Amino acid sequence: MEGDILDSLEQLGYDGPLLEEKCLLSGVEGGLSSPEFVDLCVWLASRLKTLCNLEESISSGPGDIDGLQLEMSSLLKELHCPYKAVLAGILKGQLQIKKHNLQLLLFLSSELQAAQMERSKMGSKKEGRDGNFHQDLQDICQTLVLPEPRGRDIEEVFSQVEEQINKVLQKLPTGIMEEPVLTKTLSHDQWEKLNSINVALTSEYECRRRMLIKRLDVTVQSFGWSDRAKVKVDSMARAYQPRRHSLRPQPSVGVAELLAAREDICNVVKTSSGSSREHTACAVNKVLLSLVLQSLPGRWDKDTIDSRYFCRVIL
């Protein structure tokens, strides 16, 4: 536990005396009577208050034990601390057990790390949205041979983009472009609902993609279980990892793809169709199930085996 706390404090930017293991253990043993231990709790609590908009904080010093007990217990209650023994020890003035003091520091440092990650995540999302918007608008203007959009009125830019697109469409041969799937003009409320649907679907498909990627990792990992494959684990990793890192769990389909979709998107071709199988068939498809069963340990009855159970065993 001490190592986890020291790692967390270093990542959080703490540069006080308890960053050394011996000093940390000494401060933990002293508990609320140790100035260094109290100062560290105040340091963590002050940053948590700023990031999480907390009502409670720690402002009392090591000499005011009663004030420290009251403030720390209120802070832990607001943070929903799961360590009941720590909270009970503070309320009874018996927070002198080394284990409880370590749990207190681990909880506060973990909460601060989580708060910093959430704040960074929110900031990166906002920055990403703004950055993507300006970059997309710049790419559009560059493609349509229009002046740079930066520093110009946004309504003027979109007006020029629309005018230029209409000119380009008029020059295209007749029938080269399918009609759009979305032909109706949506109201503001409908756009909001559409965006909500997209968020829900994105979350659902991200969950499914993560599951598929995890199954892929497990399957590839199982290839190295045999004695013959163990000597080639490094070469397998070099071949697999670059392709694995290119897989992203987040779907790339959004509202923009809906607006760009044409009627031909409704012509869905099954992956098992003859035209599709011409490009996806491989030598593995020719291996008979009976031969696979014979290579597995134990006795198998290929006439009575449940194919669904067999798939679960292989996966």
Mean pLDDT of the chain: 78
CA dist., res. 167 & res. 276, Å (int): 38
CA dist., res. 95 & res. 29, Å (int): 10
What pLDDT score was predicted for residue 312? 42
Mean per-residue pLDDT for 217-240? 84
Question: Is residue 289 pLDDT above 60, yes or no?
Answer: no
Question: Tens of pLDDT along 100-146?
Answer: 888 888 888 888 888 888 877 765 555 555 556 777 788 888 888 88
Name residue 262's beta-bridge partners: 180
Half-sphere exposure of 255 (CA within 13 A, CB side): 12
CA dist., res. 199 & res. 179, Å (int): 26
What pLDDT score was predicted for residue 303? 45
Mean per-residue pLDDT for 233-256? 83
Collapsing DSSP to helix, strand or coil, 62 comes out as: coil
The answer to whether 102 and 88 are in contact (CB under 8 A) is no
Give the residue ranges of DSSP H helices in the chain.
Answer: 2-12, 21-30, 35-52, 65-78, 84-92, 98-143, 154-171, 188-222, 227-230, 233-245, 255-260, 274-280, 289-295, 307-314
What pLDDT score was predicted for residue 211? 92
Work out the end-to-end distance of the chain between its first and last CA atoms, rounded to an integer number of angstroms. Answer: 37
Name the packing angle between helices 233-245 and 188-222 (round to 10°): 170
More confident residue, 97 or 44: 44
What does R_g of the chain's alpha carbons equal in angstroms?
30
Domain boundaries, the chain: 2-118, 144-176, 178-268, 271-315
Question: Is residue 313 pLDDT above 80, yes or no?
Answer: no
Question: Tens of pLDDT along 3-33?
Answer: 788 888 888 888 888 888 888 888 888 887 8
The mean-pLDDT minimum among 127-131, 193-197, 225-229, 282-286 falls in 127-131
